[in-house]
Amino acid sequence: MRGALSALVLLLTAATANAARFLGSHPLSGPAGGGYCYVEAPHIHPDRPTLGFLFQEVDQQYVFTGDPSPFSYEGRRYVFYGHHPIMTSDGQATVYCFLDGPHYHPFTAPNDSSFIVKDGVAFYIGLFSPYFFQLKERVGRAINSFYEPYARLRPVIDVSPPPEWHGDQRLPPVRRTLNGPPEHKRLVRFHRDTAH
């Protein structure tokens, strides 16, 4: 009995050492097989994501930031164009999508002034933080290379971007005077990487 209990403890320890926490729906990976997990709340799976560049970590939880189409996703799809922030399913943080061109997500664009939805396509017209550009350098090419063979699964759109859309816009650098606080030539919206 003692040997069986020790074996069970070792098995559980090994399983939890490899376990990963996820926040929101995501593709499945590892020995459990492919497919798609539709759970939006924080949850645990026995395996870490195989395609780590499709995820971003928030509070030690993996958040899927890609298009679910190649992963046998069967839910509703909403069309986005270009790079944009994604609010996590718990509303506590922001991650980023680096897919070029038209693509799908399993959620709608937020109803705020940083997105314009034109003919059913969401365009992000806000500004990006420096963190976005750091991540883009590391993972942007890998994500777009991964999705190249799945081009036929992407939406075909016949809409031109709205005039407010200018691609990836940086927050302007802060200018300081010798005597005072930062100055800006104009007010700009600041995009936070985490919500309060």
pLDDT band at 16 (very low <50, low <70, confident <90, very high): low
Tell me the CB-side half-sphere exposure of residue 155, using CA atoms within 13 A.
23
CA distance readout (Å), 74 to 35, 68, 95, 136, 169? 10, 9, 23, 28, 33
Question: What pLDDT is stored for residue 187 in this prediction?
Answer: 32
Tens of pLDDT, residue by residue over 28-78, are 985 445 789 999 999 999 988 989 999 999 999 999 999 999 999 999 999
How far, in whole angstroms, is CA 152 from its chain's centroid?
Answer: 21
Secondary structure, 3-state, the chain = CHHHHHHHHHHHHHHHHHCEEECCCEECCHHHCCCEECCCCCEEECCCCCCHHHEEEECCEEEECCCCHHHCCCCCCEEEECCEEEECCCCCEEEEECCCCEEEECCCCCCCCCEEEECCEEEECCCECHHHHHHHHHHHHHHHHHHHHHHHHCCCCCCCCCCCCCCCCECCCCEECCCCCEECCCCCCCCCCECC
- pLDDT reading at 182 higher than 60: no
- Residues of the chain above pLDDT 70, percent: 76
Question: What pLDDT is stored for residue 192 in this prediction?
Answer: 38
- pLDDT reading at 128 higher than 80: yes
Average per-residue pLDDT for the chain: 81
Tell me the CB-side half-sphere exposure of residue 16, using CA atoms within 13 A.
5
